[in-house]
Structure 1
Amino acid sequence: MASSEVGLSPSQIDTFHREGYLVIRNALSSNQLSALLAETQRLLSTLNLSDHPMTRFTTGTSAAGHVGDDYFLTSGDSIRFFFEEDAFDKEGNLNVDDPPMAVNKIGHGLHRQSEPFAALLQSSPPAIARALGYRDPRVLQSMVICKHPRLGGAVAPHQDSSFLYTAPPSALGFWYALEDAGLDNGCLWFLPASHRWAPVEKRLVRKSDGVGTEMVDNQGPRFPGSEAHHPDSDPDPDPDAVYVPAEVRAGDLVLIHGNLLHKSEKNTSDKGRIIYTFHIIEADGTTYDGRNWLQPGPDGFTKLYHPDQSTAHA
């Protein structure tokens, strides 16, 4: 368990740097967990299809995905709903009787617009970020992700820094299980230590005409600046490396290095899998790319180290 003052133990820091991810058991108190689940259900109850563009979530890069929609591109400071790809029939009609059960994601500004999610930033995340060497971390892309029973889709292997690119890469994911996540309902899978040898080769960027997004080759730095993550320390991938599951219980936290390859499978069970995740990037000594799909609003990205972290922005 991470202390809000200490952040991480030396052993936990070593594990994170070695493996590229870290599972922290019981990171949320029972009160925090109950509050975040209740807020998630409240948000789902506010879904209004009458003014919704029926934007769906897909992990692919085809034009049929949501990433070209203005509803998506302007969601960084908002609370918006995105549907499972499989929740639509061939004609594009929603084929789920209960619309909230078709929601894949609620995002991407929960840490700014929702009191319970904003309050979480005042607990252990600042101490964790300090323990990992962040000097001026900024919070972005906060979202609830739902894998509803037998509907929640798979997420292909990816690196978070491909979507939240800084030069050099600096993304770190905070992934909180609000429900148990196991092999049958879509837990995370990691390729351990891949952050040491897997460069950020592709990036999701806004198209030059301002309409839609595309995946492009990364022409900038592909690894963080720290020698602890530099490819020279482990230049070749382990030929025997395989993805390993990270089964967690409700209340656990998983930290994910921005270069680490990870994925999740489809929920084939009768159990739901709701999680909350947000990311931080380093603002000191890096450049957040102006072509990234998510761009800061007038107030910029939230400062994690501000004394009043629920309202501070820069």
Structure 2
Amino acid sequence: MTTVTEQVPARPGPVLHESVSDALITQIREDGFGVLKNALSPAEVAEINAEAARLCRGELGDIERVTRAGAEESDEEVMRRYLCIHFPNKLSEVIARTYHHPKIVDVLTKVIGPNVKAMQSMLFMKAEGKPGQAWHQDEFFIPTRDRSLTAAWIALDDATIENGCLWVLPGSHKRGVIYPDREQDDERFDCTVELYDFPYKDEDAVPVEIPAGAAVIFNGYLLHRSLPNTGRHGFRRALTNHFMSAESLLPWGRVPDRYHVAKYDYRDIELVAGEDPYAYKGIEDIARPSVRQDKEGGCGR
């Protein structure tokens, strides 16, 4: 299989939709992804990036594998230590508010339905030399009962091929199939397994180069990956939030012995639109902020 590199001729980049239009929603349904330009304002992007520095410095609370920074260390030095922080919403009110961002929620209610809940956030720093993630589908990691998983990938810097933007395989979500996975030791990627044996070639991939503030909204079955930040300087920061229909149970994580898998419902969630038909179950505080492993310190699998 050909490897996607800067030397492979790329297909045209994505359409940047100026508003939450019918065309955007149709593209998400047909291609599995769409881009909302200016989803966040420059001021909102700057506020999140400032919060990212505080998280990496350890100023907002404990994060697994984050070492509190010294006063003599610059924000850039500290952020370069880490590839990604999972569940930053647990410590940052600024990031927690992005679950409810009106422009993104507008898209979600049109794609998913009127009742929407969130269950995960991930804050990527991805400085020069940091790896990407091999081909994967988000539903592989976060299984929903009704195939409603949807990501909002918000660019906090201009995302380019050079600094490790997303690459997607348009239409790969349509079959609703989760493909096989295997371990990989490719230095271009972090510790996550890669999916393979799907009916697409790397040269079918489209680079999603977008400006800061734009949001890529994509289906949980869409095959996508990213390559390393090969730029000579700078970050490729991004905030990814995951959403699904509130009607669906979420059999995520280890199912306790007392539950049948068909009835287990992970309840560390937040309602972002409409009603939660399972509100009577209450909300649990389960997930803890942690740093994604990127092979520099071993993968621990």
Check 1:42–1:26 CA distance in 2 against 1; reply closer, same or farther (3 A cut): same
State the match for 2:92 in structure 1. 114
From the two aligned structures, give the one with the greater strand fraction: 1
SS in structure 1 at match of 2:119: strand
| 8 Å CA contact retained: 1:190, 1:263 | yes
Of 163, 172, 184, which aligns to 1:194?
A: 172
Counterparts of 1:131 and 1:187, CA distance in 2: 26
Q: Which residue of 1 aligns with 2:25?
A: 13
Correspondence for 1:44 among 32, 36, 56: 56
CA contact (8 A) 1:79 1:107 kept: no
Aligned letter for 2:115? Answer: D
Q: Is the 8 A contact 1:195 1:261 kept in 2?
A: yes
Q: Deviations over 1:41-74 (max 9, x none)?
A: 12122279xxxxxxxxxxxxxxxxxxxxxxxxxx
Name the counterpart of 2:144: 166
Measure, in 1, the Cα distance between the counterparts of 2:112 and 2:163: 34
Instruction: Tell me, yes or no, if structure 1 residue 31 matches structure 2 residue 10.
Output: no
1:268 has 2:230 as partner: yes
The correspondence of residues 146-295 of structure 1 with structure 2, limited to 5 A, is 146-150=125-129, 152-197=130-175, 199-201=177-179, 237=199, 242-269=204-231, 270-284=233-247, 286-291=248-253
CA RMSD, Structure 1 to Structure 2 (Å): 3.4
Q: Distance in 2 between matches of 1:2 and 1:123?
A: 16
Number of residue pairs matched by the alignment: 231
Find the counterpart in structure 2 of residue 80 from structure 1: 63
1:246 maps to a residue whose letter is V
In the alignment, the residues of structure 2 paired with residue 164 and residue 145 of structure 1 have an alpha-carbon distance, to the nearest angstrom, of 18
Cross-structure match for 1:209: none
Residue 170 of structure 1 deviates from its aligned partner by 1.7
How far apart are 1:140 and its partner, in Å?
Answer: 1.5
Q: Alpha-carbon deviation of 1:162?
A: 0.5
- TM-superposed deviation, 1:196: 1.0
TM-score, normalising length from structure 1? 0.64
SS in 2 for 1:287: coil
Structure-2 change in CA distance of 1:105 and 1:296 (3 Å) = farther
Q: Aligned in 2, Cα 1:122/1:248: closer, same or farther, shift over 3 Å?
A: closer
Q: Does 1:125 align with 2:82?
A: no
Letter in 1 for 2:33: Y
- Residues 296 and 277 of structure 1: CA distance in aligned 2, closer, same or farther (over 3 Å): farther
Q: Which residue is equivalent to 2:81?
A: 102
Aligned-partner SS, 2:106 = helix
**Where in structure 1 do 4 or more consecutive aligned residues deviate above 6 Å?**
238-241
Cα offset, 1:126, TM superposition: 2.1
SS at match of 1:280: strand
Distance in 2 between the 1:240 and 1:203 partners? Answer: 16
Counterpart residue type for residue 38 of structure 1: A
Letter aligned with residue 249 of structure 2 = T
1:140 is aligned, of 116, 119, 122, to 119
Counterparts of 1:203 and 1:164, CA distance in 2: 15
Q: Indicate the SS of the match to 1:276.
A: strand
- In structure 2, relative to structure 1, the CA distance for the partners of 1:134 and 1:145 (3 Å cut) is same
2:39 aligns to what SS in structure 1? coil
Q: 1:241 to 1:198 in 2, by over 3 A?
A: farther
- Give, in angstroms, the shift of residue 200 of structure 1: 1.6
What fraction of aligned residue pairs are identical, expressed as a percent?
26
* CA distance in structure 2 between the aligned counterparts of 1:8 and 1:301, rounded to whole angstroms: 25
**So what's the TM-score if we normalise by structure 2?**
0.67
Give a deviation string over 1:95-130, Cα, whole Å, max 9, x none: xx945312111121x334311112222422321111
CA distance, structure 1, for counterparts of residue 274 and residue 176 of structure 2: 33
Rounded to whole Å, the distance in 2 between the matches of 1:30 and 1:240 is: 33
CA distance in 1, matches of 2:202, 2:54: 45
Q: In 1, distance between residues paired with 2:127 and 2:33?
A: 25
Q: Deviations over 1:154-206 (max 9, x none)?
A: 210000001110123221000000011101110000001100135124589xx
TM-aligned CA distance change 1:181 to 1:290, over 3 Å: closer
Q: What residue ranges of structure 1 are gaps of 5+ in the alignment?
A: 49-77, 84-96, 205-213, 218-235, 308-312
